[in-house]
Amino acid sequence: MLSSIFRKCVLILIILFMCAWNQSASAQTEYLRRRNDPYRWMFSLGWNVVDDDGLAFSNLFDYQNSWNYLYYPSTLSIDKYLRKGWSLDGALSYNQYSSTKRINDTTGVHGIFASADLHMKYSFLPRMAYYAQWLDMYFAFGVGMTYRQTMAMPLTPMVNLTLGTNLWFSKSWGLRLQTAGKLGLVSNIWTSNADYLQHTIGVVYRFKPVYRSNFSTKRQYKWTGKKKKSNNRRRG
């Protein structure tokens, strides 16, 4: 039987994925052929929320009793674009469990939380129509390592599934909203309390504008338009 936190994650992921697929289906193929890579590097700084209450589908957004967060930025991510919507994303996060929050269906525990993750990410942005370029929805999968001071085995390897979106306000700046479900790679993988949800909100910045023309009035080569000299000579 799947753990309660993992089932909670699957439900959110399915809903977000259906929304992303519906948007990508309306892309304009002619515009696709004229696009370049949307960016080279992308950086994000923001806040993360850890939901490790051990409950099932109930209280998904019970921020008062289940969400652990800090008031200062606690997540840093770096994204390197590869090709055709795929990129490599790495993230570092820090948090603290509060004794007033529910941790694995108990209260009164507190401690340090830290995670490091590496993901392959696919963005639907290259498939979006011109009028929807502000909405950059994506999904990602990968691995990570989580340290939780409150656990009997504090250091846990994880498998991650992520869905999110970047809302672009300009060619370079945007807002990131993301939800990740993390499954602990432990011996009792389907019934353990090592699984949790992590939500992220932050500011994102990318290098190289999204919109760039493929056409240029400049000559690509210096020899363009010049007559080619022949080395052949007439023999008499």
Domains and CATH numbers, the chain: 4-25+39-206 (2.40.160.20)
Token code pair at residue 88? 């490599």
Output the average pLDDT for the chain: 78
DSSP state of 171: S
* Cβ within 8 Å of residue 141, ≥6 positions away: 119, 120, 159, 160, 161, 162
Tell me the pTM. 0.72
Average pLDDT for residues 20-24, to the nearest whole number?
53
Burial class (CB in 10 A: 0-12, 13-18, 19+), 146: buried
Distance CA 219, CA 74 (A): 48
**What are the C-alpha distances in Å from 95 to residues 5, 89, 98, 163, 202?**
18, 20, 10, 21, 15
Q: CA 2 → CA 10, 156, 175, 193, 211, distances in Å?
A: 10, 18, 33, 11, 44
Q: What is the largest CA-CA distance in the chain?
A: 105
- Average of pLDDT values for 106-125? 90
- Answer with the residue of higher pLDDT: 3 or 204: 204
pLDDT on residue 55: 73
Least confident of 114-118, 172-176, 212-216: 212-216
Which segments of the chain does DSSP mark as H helices, in order?
Answer: 4-24, 29-33
Structure tokens at 204: 């994102």
pLDDT of 103 strictly over 70: yes
Q: Which of 26-40, 131-145, 203-217 is predicted with the least confidence, judged by mean pLDDT?
A: 26-40
- For position 32, what pLDDT does the model report? 46
Enumerate residues 6+ apart whose C-beta is below 8 A from 145. 115, 116, 117, 155, 156, 157, 158
Continuous segment of H or E residues that includes residue 107: none
Q: Which of the four pLDDT bands, split at 50, 70 and 90, describes residue 59?
A: confident
Residue-wise burial string across 30-44, b where 16 or more C-beta atoms lie within 10 A, e elsewhere: eeeeebeebbeebeb
